[in-house]
Structure 1
Amino acid sequence: MMRRAFFWGISAALAASSPALAAPADKVSIDIYAIPSRPIVAAVDQASADLAQLGMTTFRQRGQAVHATLYLTQYPASALPRLKATIARLARGHKRLPLAIDGTERTPTNWLFLRVVHTPALQRLADEVTLAAEPLRDHDLAPPAWMKDYPAKLPAFQRYGSPNVFMQFDPHLTLLANEANPALATYMTKTGQQPPRAQGEVDGIGIALVDANGQIVRTLAEYHFRSR
């Protein structure tokens, strides 16, 4: 749970300091993400439909793409061509890998996720993406104010521009953020009894500009893996 708190914080901090649709001279918040296959997207669609019946609208229902973050940080806009080329090369060396959903998670501030099974293969992919993309990031990025409460995470932020890497990587699919509808408790009771599950694959890696909730505003590129 704590790891995801860092994800929300870094998403908001990066987007607040660098709007997703910034001018070319500005800095931009970029999410490099795993592209989920159709069974995983279908599970998000089903969860979204269930939540809609209770009066809640997910990011998916608002038209934002389903994705699992691998590495999110800020870059100079001028670095985007090199970032695309770097991730394209990395993707060419990969085959599709398993991706599974094994339930839901609600945070104290009412973010709602579908939990992604944390496998060694997915961890390795996130690690490779971080190491490949990190040299291109904004190295002048200042720690957000909330990080003063988590001093142990500061070295990772200073080194990688995100505290959500390596041992702190915690894959998930975001459904809702800061949801105020009390019917969310009803949904959690239902999914506690019948957790959503799905088996699929990571089809490739994408690069996108993101908003303050870490949700895709504009897809810049997607690179699909070879079949296993």
Structure 2
Amino acid sequence: MLKRSLLAVAALCVGFQAFAEDIGIDVFAIPSKPIIDEVKATSDTLKAQGLESFYAQGKPVHVTLYLTRFPEGSKAAIKAAIAKLVAGKEGFAVEAKGFSVTKGNWAFLDVTPSPALQRLADEVTMALSPLRAPNPPLPGWVKAYPTKLAAFERYGSPNVFQDFEPHLTLLASETSPALAEVAKALAAKPPQAEGQIVGIGIGITDQWGQQKEILGEYFFKQ
């Protein structure tokens, strides 16, 4: 189920390239330094096999909370909604543990689900879904999953609420056979780190769901 859903996340990111009048925006959880350091260490392992992770390309380390398309003119409203949501909140524990590769060769550092992280994703979805573009492109795979289709039609993303599965994306649609060797090595010694979620970021995404422009970062109380 997890691998199937992670593959679905990958397909969703690619599907959000269309509709130039709207923009793909990812609202994401910002992890603390121990999590970022583990992403760096795993990225170094990949680099040693000739694989360049998103981290190595300078992309922010993030856990997607809500990814969909919004009208171009909605940026200010999105920022205001997130600023309001963050106000008064405190950071909470998060764990990164394990390395996953989908059938489409997307590579993830897995994030352990938790009630606090689930609640944050739910709150972001509820706050921002009224602002989303009304007719985002439907990824074809969603049609095969009635509950995900219903979520997509209601919230503009199939990866929300019960289908939220946190992760840190390292590679997308990798073609190198070296990835299988890295996955085998990391299965024997899985990456692991404990840290905190320290805030929420907003970014305009590229075709892989990675931030090409950060619109804002909002940090919890220390």
TM-score bracket for this pair, using the shorter chain length: over 0.9
Contact 1:15 1:210 in 2 (8 A): no
Shift of 1:131: 0.3
Corresponding residue pairs, total: 220
Give how far 1:114 is off: 0.3
Partner of 1:153: 148
Aligned to 2:12: 10
Give the Cα separation in 1 of the matches to 2:187 and 2:9.
Answer: 24
Percent identity, please: 44
Counterparts in 2 of 1:1-228, with a 5 A limit?
1-18=3-20, 26-227=21-222
Q: Deviations over 1:90-139 (max 9, x none)?
A: 01131001111111001111110000010011000000000001110011
Larger CA deviation: 198-207 vs 134-143? 134-143
| Unmatched 5+ stretches in structure 1 | 19-25
Contact 2:121 2:160 in 1 (8 A): yes
Partners of 1:52 and 1:7 lie apart in 2 by: 24
**Runs of 4+ in structure 1 over 6 Å off:** none
1:190 Cα deviation after fit: 1.2
Determine if contact 1:16/1:212 at 8 Å carries over to the other structure.
no
CA distance in 1, matches of 2:179, 2:25: 30
User: 1:72-104: per-residue Cα shift (whole Å, max 9, x none)?
Assistant: 000001111011000001011310011111110
SS of residue paired to 1:16: coil
Aligned to 1:22: none
Q: Residue type of the partner of 2:198? A: D
Deviation for aligned residue 1:216? 0.7
Deviates more, 1:179-188 or 1:115-124: 179-188
2:4 is aligned with what amino acid?
Answer: M
Write out per-residue CA displacement over residues 128-177 of structure 1, whole angstroms, 9 at most, x where no aligned residue: 00000111001122423333333442111000000000000000000111
